[in-house]
Structure 1
Amino acid sequence: MNTTVKQPVSVLVIIHSADGQVLLIERADRPGFWQSVTGSREGDEALAETAQREVREETGIDSTTLALCDWRQQNVYEIYPHWRHRYAPGVAFNTEHVFSLSLPEPCAVTLAADEHLAWCWLPWQEAADKVFSPSNAQVIRELGLRLTLDGSL
């Protein structure tokens, strides 16, 4: 059993292709719960380092040479009760820092088998409808707007 207490500071990394497809991964501890890459900061690492580490751990993608973008956006949300045991007693809210990672095209990924069951690439509209987290869905919709406005789509 993991006795390490998680920090209530995390990253959300939307991995997307130039044509607006978004990578989703299915949680192993909650089958049917699809999401983008997420994870808590460890120690005093910089948030960009957390994002790079989580992308590597959860997908096998080395983002150190890719266009990782810090949105400088934070979402504060209530931690689901079934996951609160991972945090210090009394911690009920998490601050999530948003990043995106642009890839030229969808690619195969290597999942962390203990964390995720499956992966898929979907057009951003479908990805936003499939994720379980409201903040994840909101950020994917914002990504779609950004891609549309900058002419990528």
Structure 2
Amino acid sequence: MTASNRPWKIPESVLVVIHTPALEVLLIRRADADDFWQSVTGSKDLADEPLALTAAREVAEETGIQCGEGSPLASQLVDWQLRNVYEIYPRWRSRYAPGVTHNTEHLFGLCVPERLVPVLAPREHTHWKWLPYREAADACFSPSNAEAILLLPEFVR
């Protein structure tokens, strides 16, 4: 358990690139870092939580967009079958068990029919914007997020 009595974060997460058919990408700005624009990200709640469930849960929590099982967008949430392993930024390592330094991130895409207005979780994100995918990649603070966005045309053919 962490010092605040919350369980340690599981070092396995999802990154969901939310986009339109025209390759416009939704970016959200972190509440704890003004210059950190990103796609939806989040860790598993349980070690055995299916990745697609993690992805749908995080999208709903962070944007209000429903894409879980039974929703009209469920078939648009696609596991890209790609993953990144990266070093956790030192500023966020205290959320993980002692000695955990790396996270495995699984990439998903979610195609929405048009630019939707997200409902942000204010404790997590403060602003949002839609950008053409190349501009979105340039705006991301995370290199792995930028690389994922640049792969978008391969997954929308």
For the aligned pair, the TM-score class normalised by the smaller chain equals over 0.9
TM-score by length of 2: 0.91
Alignment equivalent of 1:100, drawn from 96, 99, 109: 109
Whole-angstrom distance in 2 between the partners of 1:92 and 1:4: 17
Whole-angstrom distance in 2 between the partners of 1:145 and 1:99: 13
Identity %: 57
The residue aligned with 1:40 is: 43
Relative to structure 1, the CA distance from residue 56 to residue 39 in structure 2 (aligned partners, 3 Å threshold; closer, same or farther) is same
Alignment equivalent of 1:23, drawn from 23, 26, 34: 26
- 3-state DSSP class of the match of 1:18? coil
Whole-angstrom distance in 2 between the partners of 1:11 and 1:128: 17
**Would you say the 8 A contact 1:27–1:35 is kept in 2?**
yes
TM-score by length of 1: 0.94
Deviation at 1:45, TM superposition (A): 1.2
Aligned residues: 148
1:26-105 equivalences under 5 Å are: 26-43=29-46, 44-64=48-68, 65=71, 66=73, 67-105=76-114
Relative to structure 1, the CA distance from residue 2 to residue 132 in structure 2 (aligned partners, 3 Å threshold; closer, same or farther) is farther
Structure 1 position 124 matched with structure 2 position 133: yes
Whole-angstrom distance in 2 between the partners of 1:69 and 1:36: 15
**For structure 1, which runs of at least 5 residues remain unmatched after alignment?**
none
**For structure 2, which runs of at least 5 residues remain unmatched after alignment?**
none
Runs of 4+ in 1 over 6 A off after TM superposition: none
The residue aligned with 1:136 is: 145
The residue aligned with 1:3 is: 6
What is the Cα-based RMSD across aligned positions, in Å? 1.0
